[in-house]
Structure 1
Amino acid sequence: AGFAADPALHGAGYAVFVGGAADAAALEALKAQVAAAVPGVTLTPVDASLGYAVLRRELAGTAAVDAAAFGGGAKLWAEPAGGAASGIKVDERYDRAYRGGIEVSVYNGKLAVVNELPFQEYLYSVLGSELGASWPAEALKAQAVAARTYALKQGMKYGIAHISDTTTDQAYKGVSVEFPTALEAVKATEGEVLTYGGSLIDPLYYSNAGGKTAESTEVWGNAVPYLKSASSPDEGAQNGKKTWYKIVTPSGRMGYIRSDYAQATGEKNPAGLPYYEGNTTGTNVRGAPYVDDTANPSLFTVDIGDRFVVIGEAVESNAYAWIRGPFDSAKLKEKLGSQVSGSITSLEVTSRGASGRATAVSVNGQPVKAAYPDSLRGLLGGLPSTRFEIEETGRYTIQGAEGTVRTRTPGSSPVYIAGGTAAPRKSDAEAPLFVMNGAGQVRAATDDAQFIFKGTGFGHGLGMSQWGAKGYAEQGLDYRAILRTYYTGAEITRP
């Protein structure tokens, strides 16, 4: 008769849904039109207390697709047509395939997509998402026990699901990341969990401790008996990373260039620092030694034959050791927001915890307000960890004749340098000064306040370091010894 209608599952049987009016008045008008066109057909309102599902063809852009409309508490279930081994693919979000099946429902007024599968099989993908196939078996087993405990500890955290698929909880990327040794590690530790005082612990873990794990007070501010500071062999994260040179061009521009894009000339400047030159056209020079076009964009480029002085070097920033910055006053104010009025002239760590992590920081002599110590990472622009030192390039001390000492800070009167027959030169932003200490180390001494963060570690630092677990496994420790190192006093049990 020309009216839009769809077959539907409604409650325990089939029905035909007609229309889809936007309000009651339009629905009544539709009923009258249908009654006139199709005598004998009686239309009744959909019983909203009964679940329903309608499958209809709809347009997605220019393509026709099968679409499901459902409500009244109904849930849709999908499983792999080719058997469990093939996985079931969810196009939205990440375009990944998963073991088990997919439940689709409405929860709190929003679409909810839940992957339901056997617990052991969930852990296969967690290990594949968190660690690599080349990692030692004992590190994989330690991760399996920690991940199992973590998931069980959450309970029905999300009301209709136990756990999420991101690092808000644990990374879970589906079947594509699974590998055989991960499955073996899960099976070898089947049922094993970490407990303290007879209850499941919160088995926190993260990428890298930077050499030492944190006390819980350094991160949350409160004490947890099984989260103590411990040594951690995390250095493996920087194995194979390239060296980057910190360079200064004749015009005074500075930054980091990867070492394989520069070559020594064999010459040195009067200060004894080596001259290098570019060996590739259009090589990017960055503020810190790593590639990230958003967080660490190119400052300038050098070409073949361009000369520069190398004033230092660093391993490419990685999960173990890293450099961030330099950040000027405006950039830091953008991160700290309303906590700062006026320009930032000083930033310093005023308190550290047992592992050396910063637990308090002051700006212009005033404490930075943080909800808990680890939140300093976010307040300072998303630093990898709180195990860092701050280098202020706008602050330095000058020793003069007869023992006079002057500390230069941003806002102080300018510094002039005199030498030989040349006229004294004033420091400025375009041509900063460089200072050398007794050990021959050189750094910039800028007129304005700039801050460089140099640190180790990646993550909050509580519990197990994944790179540390790898390091201990390579030293010969088994997974039980690894777990006991990172979770002091915890027991490995099989309920």
Structure 2
Amino acid sequence: MPSQRDPRRHAGRPAAKAWPWPLGRVAALAAPLAGLALLAPLVPPVLLAPDPARAAGRRVEAPSPELRVLLQEGPALTVRAAGATRLRLRDGRGKALLVISGERPLRLRWRAGLVEAEPDPVVVAAAAALPGPDPAAGAAGAGERTGAGPSPEPEPLQMPLRLSELWLESVPAADSDPALWLQKRRYRGRLQIRPVNEQLQAINVLPLETYLPSVVGSEMPASWPLEALRAQAVAARTYALKGRKPGAAYDLKATVASQMYKGLEAETASTRAAVADTRGLVLTYGDSLIDAVFHSSAGGVTESSGDLWPRQLPYLVSVPDFDQTSPVREWRQPLDPAQLRQAFAEIGGAAAIQVLATTPSGRVRQARVVGPAGQLVLTGPQLRTRLGLKSTFVRFELQPLLPGPTALSLPGLEAGPLPAGAGALTLPAQAPLDAPQPLPLPVAGGMPAAPPAPQLLVAVGRGFGHGVGMSQWGAFAMASRGTGFEQILRHYYRGARLQPYTEVPGLALATGVESRDDSGSTATALPVGGRR
């Protein structure tokens, strides 16, 4: 169909009548429009016409910077390629050393400050035996000839390999998904193996957007509403970019010390969709990435960052939480005497714990522990760490322990035998009949005093995690009632702005580890990971 401006549509038409408006007025109205027409090629399309995906906060195409995630540490590690793929080994300069079959594991050991790898000689192939680019070989790639004449024979390698740094990558077959097994989990991307303090560090190097589907599935059930998963994807993306440390050996850990990352098995169609739908979107405040910390459940109200950590950030303030359906909104944790003796060994245990001060949300700011050999004054986080509590939103009670089934039916106590020293009555051995019997102490009313009933210290708390930022169970509740991920994020990160990370001023987005600079490093004093 010809366009509206096709000159053929106007052929043969009579000449237009004279315009009734004065020519001067027409020129005055046409000048601004002509200027816009001249500037149109210079103006980004997003400013000329609204993009529905962008307006809805959905997918924004952007380059994906690389992350370095510490997966495991140990004196020995086992790696193999997944499925029908093979495993290529490179040294620290990127030079391809050899390729081995993915059928058998590659065992790595720390040996005298080096990485020792000894592949099975039956499954070893030359480094150039398989097609694929070789960064160390330049633009030509591995196995590609750049001139006439036969290819030179590869230098023989001495086994076992001993290197100051080892890189491992999968060489996929045509119908396979490239991945690497490390111990019992599969990971995308490459593995860097470094010898550190008589151990090996396994660091996963992969693009940010490839990393995130596993994080979302590791942090939230994949069956949760998509809007909750999208909110988690944005928070996790922001947290990961904020946490890059170019001067360190790695950026993040694969545990709750940063954010959970369980590898390929944690990915699902829903977590991949949540990441794709929010591609490139991050949270900012004042043209900088925010500290997008999050936790499991806040127990009804979140905590302000300044009441837990040294710095109060304007977007991390206390807000209501909607975690009524959380299984850890309310909890009870018995503290048996053996645990208390281990937690407070310097004072011989704990007979009582007194809360001295709380934050405005009700969490413990300071507490006194009273033990047989003295007292301790601890902060709420210190107390939580020592006792292994779910949160600092806690108080302490003494519950009577009576012998028999009654003691096992107290709220919060698990059925089963009582631990040694948990408060059950212990009767003294029977004295000889001719031994003098002690007289009972006189008391008011003439009756002897009964021995005090043994008591058990119980922590009664709410929520799980530090309580700052987004509550995951709160996000679940909001998404379940139809709230979009943008509104969920605005609720928990007050005043934060949602935008593509390509538009964040000064943010380094290099896709290679070597070219990153210090502009992506963490600059705030929040000492804990995203989830705890």
TM-score for both structures, normalised by structure 1: 0.57
Residue 214 of structure 2 contacts residue 267 of structure 2 at CA under 8 Å; is this kept in 1? yes
Secondary structure (helix, strand or coil) at the match of 1:117 reads: strand
Residue 193 of structure 2 contacts residue 200 of structure 2 at CA under 8 Å; is this kept in 1? yes
Structure 1 unpaired stretches of 5+ = 1-7, 16-47, 59-66, 239-318, 396-409, 429-445
Q: Report the Cα distance in structure 2 between the residues aligned to 1:454 and 1:106, rounded to whole angstroms.
A: 44
Aligned position for 1:266:
none
Tell me the CA shift for residue 52 of structure 1.
Answer: 10
Say which one has the larger Rg: 2
Aligned position for 2:358:
352
The answer on 1:378 being equivalent to 2:469 is: no
**AA partner of residue 79 (structure 1):** S
**AA partner of residue 121 (structure 1):** T
Q: Report the Cα distance in structure 1 between the residues aligned to 2:290 and 2:247, rounded to whole angstroms.
A: 19
- The 5 A counterparts of 1:261-276 are none
Q: Report the Cα distance in structure 1 between the residues aligned to 2:397 and 2:460, rounded to whole angstroms.
A: 8
Q: Report the Cα distance in structure 2 between the residues aligned to 1:141 and 1:126, rounded to whole angstroms.
A: 12
Q: Report the Cα distance in structure 1 between the residues aligned to 2:441 and 2:366, rounded to whole angstroms.
A: 31
Aligned position for 1:325:
334
Structure 1 123/220 Cα, relative in aligned 2: closer, same or farther at 3 Å? same
Aligned position for 2:497:
491
Q: Report the Cα distance in structure 1 between the residues aligned to 2:376 and 2:393, rounded to whole angstroms.
A: 17
Structure 2 unpaired stretches of 5+ = 1-88, 99-111, 122-157, 402-422, 424-439, 504-532
Aligned position for 2:342:
334
Residue 346 of structure 1 contacts residue 449 of structure 1 at CA under 8 Å; is this kept in 2? no
Structure 1 331/172 Cα, relative in aligned 2: closer, same or farther at 3 Å? closer
**AA partner of residue 367 (structure 2):** V
Secondary structure (helix, strand or coil) at the match of 2:344 reads: helix
The answer on 1:77 being equivalent to 2:168 is: yes
Structure 1 75/213 Cα, relative in aligned 2: closer, same or farther at 3 Å? same
Structure 1 57/491 Cα, relative in aligned 2: closer, same or farther at 3 Å? same
Secondary structure (helix, strand or coil) at the match of 1:369 reads: strand
C-alpha RMSD of the superposition: 3.8
Q: Report the Cα distance in structure 2 between the residues aligned to 1:204 and 1:484, rounded to whole angstroms.
A: 14
Residue 170 of structure 2 contacts residue 180 of structure 2 at CA under 8 Å; is this kept in 1? no
- The 5 A counterparts of 1:176-325 are 176-238=265-327, 319-325=328-334
- Aligned with residue 213 of structure 2, among 116, 124, 139: 124
Aligned position for 1:478:
484
- The 5 A counterparts of 1:63-102 are 69-82=160-173, 86-92=177-183, 95-102=184-191
**AA partner of residue 492 (structure 1):** L
Tell me the CA shift for residue 133 of structure 1.
Answer: 1.8
**AA partner of residue 135 (structure 1):** W
The superposition leaves residues 82-109 of structure 1 with CA deviations (integer Å, 9 ceiling, x where unpaired) of 46953423342xx011122323343566
Aligned length: 322
Higher relative contact order (CA 8 A, sep 6+): 2
The superposition leaves residues 429-484 of structure 1 with CA deviations (integer Å, 9 ceiling, x where unpaired) of xxxxxxxxxxxxxxxxx634531111110111111111111011123221111111
The superposition leaves residues 318-377 of structure 1 with CA deviations (integer Å, 9 ceiling, x where unpaired) of x2221111434x542321232x36x7443221111111111111233987433x532220
The superposition leaves residues 123-147 of structure 1 with CA deviations (integer Å, 9 ceiling, x where unpaired) of 0100111111211111111100110
Tell me the CA shift for residue 224 of structure 1.
Answer: 2.4
% identity of equivalent residues: 33
Aligned position for 1:316:
none
Residue 325 of structure 2 contacts residue 473 of structure 2 at CA under 8 Å; is this kept in 1? yes
Aligned position for 1:136:
225
The answer on 1:164 being equivalent to 2:171 is: no
**AA partner of residue 97 (structure 1):** R
Q: Report the Cα distance in structure 2 between the residues aligned to 1:78 and 1:14, rounded to whole angstroms.
A: 12
Residue 315 of structure 2 contacts residue 494 of structure 2 at CA under 8 Å; is this kept in 1? yes
Higher strand share: 1
